[in-house]
Amino acid sequence: MSYKINTPKDNYVTYTLNGVDYEIGPTSSSSRGIIMKTEEEALARAIRLEDWRNKSASRKLGRVKKQRLIKLKETDYMTLSDYPSISDEMKAWRQSLRDIPQNYTTEEQYDLLLATDQDKDSPTYGHQTHAIWSKP
């Protein structure tokens, strides 16, 4: 992992790790002024930020799986033996939810799955917009 220390700007140190700039600021301020991180602390923070950024897809997949579990639990009662037969459409929908990790594998696809309606005037404001979440 490469890094460089750029000239501090307004009590910030900028580290460039793998082509991404991270501005690392002071740890706190007090009546005696701003307490700066040491270079080692700032570098360690930049490395943690880089690691966090690199795991973005994994975090998004985790959110998708949580949403998938909620949707499956909402319809689990239909699979019980004392429930009248479940429709083929519902079976196919539940299977498509279980197949999400195999069928959606990129961070861009996870973004599409997690997209929500942002129109505040819409009755579906805040609801997920991808068709896979809609029950048949």
Report pLDDT digits (tens) over 79-124.
998 888 899 999 999 999 999 999 999 999 999 999 999 988 988 8
Residue 78 has pLDDT above 60, yes or no: yes
Give the three-state DSSP class for 127.
coil
Q: Which has the higher per-residue pLDDT, 69 or 126?
A: 69
Distance CA 59, CA 117 (A): 21
Residue 30 · residue 3 · CB < 8 Å: no
pTM given for the model: 0.69
Sheet strands (E) in the chain: 13-17, 20-24, 28-30, 33-35
Residue for token pair 């961070």: 107
Distance CA 87, CA 101 (A): 24
User: In the chain, what are the domain boundaries?
Assistant: 13-54, 56-133
Residue 14 · residue 24 · CB < 8 Å: yes
Confidence of residue 43 (pLDDT cuts 50, 70, 90): confident
For 22-35, write each residue's pLDDT tens digit: 777 665 555 555 55
Confidence of residue 70 (pLDDT cuts 50, 70, 90): very high
- Bridge partners (DSSP) of residue 29 are 34
Across the chain, what does the average pLDDT equal?
A: 82
